[in-house]
Amino acid sequence: MSRQIEPASPACSQDGIDERRAQWAAELPEVDTRGMAILGRARWITLTARPPTEAIFKTHGLDSGEADVLFSLLRSGPPYRLRPTELFRSLMISSGGLTDRLNRLTKAGLIRRASAEGDGRSLPVELTEEGIARAREAFREDMAIEAAMLDGLTEDEQVRLADLLRKLASTVTATRPFG
């Protein structure tokens, strides 16, 4: 049976999850909807947080996929260079998706690739000076917006939530039925 989790305040119910759980409890009372209370809410938060983040990237001439590539290169530290295979693994996308992003970023002058004959998958990808500057600025703005989104939680609550989500991520990873 689903355990109902009542919102702490009216602001907490804006995601509609508690209402949906109540509806499912009436329709299928034997179904456990605790996952919806947590994973459904996490999905709602992600979908709600995404537009302002994407708007930041757009002001820098980027989409979220391109920003991911730039941020991966930037956080790798000087010389801000990785092999495509390293990028592919850190981004969890298809190799074709990565190639498309790399082509767009190269055309925009934000990354460069060593020019040599042979397999392009082994040629290092590195940030240009413009790529470094744009990545730094976009990341700063992104983190400022994300920090503002957390303002409703105390510092202790943020630490506890991060710890719980880390634990949940470990459980989800260990129990997932796919690759």
Which carries the bigger pLDDT value, residue 67 or residue 113?
67
Q: How do residues 91-125 score in pLDDT, each as one tens digit?
A: 877 777 888 899 999 999 999 987 545 555 568 99
Name the nearest CA neighbour of 15 among 36, 33, 30.
Answer: 36
Name the packing angle between helices 41-59 and 129-149 (round to 10°).
140
pLDDT recorded at residue 50: 94
Q: Model pTM?
A: 0.81
Mean of the per-residue pLDDT values of the chain:
87
At 13, is the pLDDT very low, low, confident or very high (cuts 50, 70, 90)? low
Fold of 63-175: Arc Repressor Mutant, subunit A (1.10.10)
Comparing 39-48, 71-80, 87-96, which segment has the lowest mean pLDDT?
Answer: 87-96
Give SS3 for 134: helix
Domain boundary assignment for the chain: 1-49, 63-175
Which carries the bigger pLDDT value, residue 11 or residue 88?
88
Neighbour tally for 98: CB within 10 Å: 20
